Chain A
Amino acid sequence: MVQQAEHDGGELGKAVHNLEQAEKRLSDARVEEEAAERDIAHAIDEIKDAERGHEFVEVHVIHVNEVEKASFKEKLTATLQQVWDKSYLELKIQRKPKDVFQTAGQHPKSLMNYLGLTLKQAREQKVIEDFRFGIVSETGGA
């Protein structure tokens, strides 16, 4: 009888021990799961940051009449009108009523008919080749 009770007590103790071990493993797994979730969230943030980085481009603007230039970062989703507007702030030059926004370089092309396009659209539609622009006052000569 005593032997049976001792045997039963040993079985119970082993079962309790196994339960405690299992609970510990579960606890460890949960800690690991939480750490993995944090790592995933961090990785997603890193991916978003990297994607945001690709959405910005360096814009270069020359004011032809004032012979001044400025460079600044701009979103690819910004319209040419927004880039033009921001250019005056960056150049610290006041807009004149007959100013024209155009491409820069050896073969400047007016962008006045494309001001609603985003930088990305303008590049995709080959309206612009790069992100270099010029501001110039209109001349007369017709």
Chain B
Amino acid sequence: MAKANEQPTLDVQAGTAALEEDIPRVLKVLGCSSVEELGWSRPNKLSLLVPMSGTFQDKKDEYLLRLGFQAYRRWPPSAQFVNPTTLTYVYPQDQHFVPKLTSPECQTHVAYQRTPQSSKIQLICCSATLEFYEVLHNVEQHHLWRETDTFFTTITAIHKALTSFYQGRFSIDGH
């Protein structure tokens, strides 16, 4: 189980192996035979790209979530909304590729700073993302990531926030 106030440790080999193991489990439960069938893609062994959408004031917006498995499964996957062209997130020019999520279970920040000296990062503030632990966010014991959880937990948590707590796209200037 993940621990509060502990910096996640990276283990690329374990992450790759766990992802290889979990993809078939998730596909099985979703009744699909490939990640492509779900519209997902795997640009490399440690990443998964998941298209998502949110509707705010009758306008549907498309997003691309990038999951990284460098510390998986002891820790949750890294989760970042990325520029669909570059597949990366660079602040501030890519902040409009991030949805405004205001769920009690999942909020987004385009330029989160843990301390004034820290660099600004995109934070999907949810106990099912790696960044949440990297910034040493306060967390309740019952919200801690368990090693029995899979990346499907992360995707579902973000999907749910996009369904019920989506407030539109961050503008170019971050508001």
**A residues near B, CB below 8 A?**
62, 64-69, 96-98, 102, 106-110, 134, 136-142
Contacts and interface: CB of A to CB of B under 8 A. Distances in A.
A96 B146 CA distance: 13
Question: What's the interface size class on B, roughly?
Answer: 35 or more
Contact of A138 (B143, B152, B162): B143
Interface string B101-133: 001111100000000000000001111100010
B107 A141 contact: yes
Contact of A65 (B107, B125, B148): B148
A102 B163 CA distance: 12
Contacts, number: 78
A96 B142 CA distance: 9
Contacts of B45: none
A138 B29 contact: no
A140 B160 contact: no
A141 B159 contact: no
A67 B107 contact: no
Contacts of A141: 103-107, 124-127, 132, 137
B95 interface: no
A109 B25 CA distance: 23
A97 to B, nearest CB: 6
Interface in B137-161: 137, 139-140, 142-143, 146, 148-150, 152-153, 156-157, 159-160
A107 B156 contact: no
Nearest to A68: B29
A-B complex: 3 closest residue pairs judged by Cβ atoms:
A140-B143, A141-B126, A107-B163
7 contacts: A69-B29, A107-B162, A137-B142, A138-B142, A139-B105, A141-B124, A141-B132
